[in-house]
Amino acid sequence: MSIQSSPATAIFDLDGTLTTRDSFLAYLLTFGRRNRRYASLLRTPLRLSAYLGKVIPDHRLKQDLIGDFFAQVDPVVIDSHTRWFCENWLPRRLHPVGTSLLEKHRRRGDRVILLSASPDIFVPSVAKALGIDETVCTRIERQGGRVVGRIMGGNCKGVKKVEAMQEYLGSPDPPDRSYAYGDSRSDRFVLEWVRYGAWVRRRQMEPLRPEDQAAFAVD
């Protein structure tokens, strides 16, 4: 990345980009085990099977899982698990390629935004643990501070990620100097929307457009 007078905007996916594993399912299962939500744990394979069998869509799966594990749970209990998750699960599952790119953008003073399909029950805390101040993710309805379980504004996945970023930034267009990093097919919409998009692979970063390779050169 060549030196510029103004900071760029860098948008990072979470799962598979900054972490090596899916954080949402891990958060659910560790919460269930640590808080003895055994009935919820037993129902989870059935819900996953229904999703894999195309009986229910992904947003329904996410909503049902969140409601099952967290609906009406004391927020103090959820916050306690979130701290545990950020201190114990997260550090051992950081993606070496994605976190290296994150540090390069942070050193440059660029604006960094974490964009995730995972819910706001824990994603903002993960972002802070990674040194990221801004988060755009799936929003979950709460009443009186307690999780209800319903998704608000749609599942922040695929093209919905672009729509969420447009709403967050207040513009249909990306910033002039914008980068985005992702690892899955659903991230392609964001990678194509920004000026410079790149895939985060297991051992390296791969620009979406080969001709943009020079834009990712290290200072």
Q: Would you state the pLDDT for residue 17?
A: 98
Given this model, what pLDDT does residue 149 score?
A: 85
Q: What is the pLDDT of residue 108?
A: 93
Mean pLDDT by 10 residues, the chain (219 residues): 70 98 97 97 96 95 96 96 98 98 96 98 98 97 92 95 97 96 96 97 94 80
Name the residue ranges covered by the structural domains of the chain.
Answer: 9-216
pTM beyond cutoff 0.85: yes
- The per-residue pLDDT for 6 is 79
Domain 9-216: assigned CATH number: 3.40.50.1000
> Helix, strand, coil: what percent of the chain each, to 5?
50, 20, 30
CB 189 within 8 A of CB 161: yes
Tokens of 89: 């699960």
Helix (H) or strand (E) holding 70: helix 58-70
3 state DSSP class of 21: coil
DSSP tag of 212: G
Note the pLDDT of residue 5.
Answer: 58
